Structure 1
């Protein structure tokens, strides 16, 4: 029995349950349907592979290079989302939202990595002031 919306005699005020959700823009397969599953999701696997490599480097005490790889993986995800019409499961929301999220997180991780102490590779006075103010 389906719940009806709106007030009235014998009708429930509950919202109607969602029957189907729209796929994200670009959420189709990145390779033909007859390709094996990993080949259909190569954009997501590429981003996850680089991120995993970066986390592995962080675990082996190569902090700066590892976190730089994680940030570059996020920026690469934003670039893939922008350039490719179908990116498989890398598409989560609309193209704009995905690019903004991946790009913003990637840029933040890269900037924080370049400013990490000791011996920062980049010094940005405004960001240093914000960091010292918050800590």
Structure 2
């Protein structure tokens, strides 16, 4: 069977084809076409650079490094909330992005503050839950 005949035979019907994909709200460029790519995507690069710096800091001090990673995610939530266009930092709807970045950043920061040994933050009911589940 030739390639042309095969393509005609297995063509997807028109009603099932995607005509266009909606861009996320705020997914536009933060700078014009004439600006270099890093300048157009600066919000994403800020979050990625902060996260990378935090991961490198974990080599020296575990808690400080993870606090920087959590703060990077919280900064992503703040940028997504306040800027009208954030480029590739916009993945889903604005609300979903803010909740996702904010929740993940908060969880990372809280778990880092509660890490053993000698936690910086103690939450009494979590100790009770842990003791109840282990016993």
TM range (shorter): 0.7 to 0.9
Q: How far apart, in 2, do the equivalents of 1:95 and 1:46 lie?
A: 18
Unaligned runs of 5+ in 2: 1-10
When the two structures are aligned, how many residues end up with a matched partner?
Answer: 124
Query: 2:13 matched to 1:3?
Result: yes
Q: How far apart, in 2, do the equivalents of 1:132 and 1:33 lie?
A: 58
Residues 61 and 75 of structure 1, relative CA distance in 2, 3 Å threshold: same
1:75 — aligned with what?
Answer: 74
1:19 — aligned with what?
Answer: 19
Q: CA deviation at 1:3?
A: 1.1
| RMSD of aligned residue pairs (Cα, Å) | 1.7
Residues 26 and 129 of structure 1, relative CA distance in 2, 3 Å threshold: farther
Larger radius of gyration: 2
Q: CA deviation at 1:125?
A: 1.5
Describe how 1:1-135 pairs up with structure 2 within 5 A. Answer: 1-3=11-13, 16-58=16-58, 60-132=59-131
Q: CA deviation at 1:44?
A: 0.2
Residues 33 and 126 of structure 1, relative CA distance in 2, 3 Å threshold: farther
Residues 18 and 122 of structure 1, relative CA distance in 2, 3 Å threshold: same
Q: How far apart, in 1, do the equivalents of 2:83 and 2:131 lie?
A: 40
Deviation per residue, 1:12-62 (Å, 9 max, x gap): xxxx1323210000000011221100000000000000000011111x241
After TM superposition, the runs of 4+ consecutive aligned structure 1 residues lying more than 6 A away are none
Q: How far apart, in 2, do the equivalents of 1:101 and 1:134 lie?
A: 28
Residues 32 and 123 of structure 1, relative CA distance in 2, 3 Å threshold: same
Give the TM-score normalised by structure 2. 0.84
